[in-house]
Amino acid sequence: MKKLLFAAAIIAVAFLSSCAGAAGDPKAVLGNFFEALSKKDMATARKLATDDSKAMLDLMEMGMKTKSDETEKFSKANLEFGEPKIDGDKAIVPVKEKSSNETVNYILKKEKGSWKVAFDKASIMSMGQEKLNEKGINITDSIGNMMEEINKVNIDSLKDGLQKGAEAMDSAAKLLEKMKQ
């Protein structure tokens, strides 16, 4: 009986330390997060994400209800996890999608002593900005250039063009009406 209790105690300690180990390892937390998403286990995903991630996870959950194949991209079999770069209470874990060979750096933050996936709007925007920069696209410059082009547009000529377009549409509608009779 003592041996049985001792074995049970060892198993319990091993189980608890493995759970605590995962919370202390950003790579393991991110892997568990993706595993939960691939199984549509949003309750577990929420536990592994920062408090600020609730709104994005709610949106993702709604999307998963409409698209059944959406979770395949989160399967650990399709992903390759790199080594985390830890800087204080923030960690970056590179994740390469095997099919596209694209790598995205996921952000994790420490909350209440455990690593949590930062799946909030600001973190996702930051990851997107990083990918655009990687491809040589500076969104700030692009928006600035677009605004310059808009400012170059002559409002009077635009107004004239719209007026001529409306007149042409009106003429076409009248012609169609005559053809129906």
Predicted pLDDT of residue 11: 40
Here the tokens at position 51 are 């408090």
Predicted confidence (pLDDT) per residue in 134-172, tens digit:
888 877 666 666 666 666 767 767 667 777 777 887 788
What mean pLDDT value characterizes the chain? 80
- Side chain identity at residue 39, one-letter code: K
Domain boundaries, the chain: 2-135, 143-180
Here the tokens at position 52 are 């600020």
* Exposure string over 43-59, b if 16+ CB within 10 A, otherwise e: eebbebbbebbeebbee
Strand partners, 107: 92
Strands (E), 2-88: 79-81, 85-87
Domain 2-135, CATH number (from 1.10.3230, 3.10.450, 3.20.20, 3.90.1150):
3.10.450
Rounded-to-integer distance, Cα 118 and Cα 111, Å: 10
CB neighbourhood size of 40 (10 A): 16
Rounded-to-integer distance, Cα 29 and Cα 47, Å: 10
Predicted confidence (pLDDT) per residue in 92-143, tens digit:
999 999 989 999 999 999 999 999 999 999 999 988 888 888 888 877 666 6
- Burial label for 106, CB within 10 Å (0-12, 13-18, 19+), is buried
Q: Helix, strand or coil for residue 37?
A: helix
Given a cut of 50, whether residue 2 has pLDDT beyond it is no
CA distances from 101 to 37, 80, 93, 95 (A): 20, 10, 16, 10
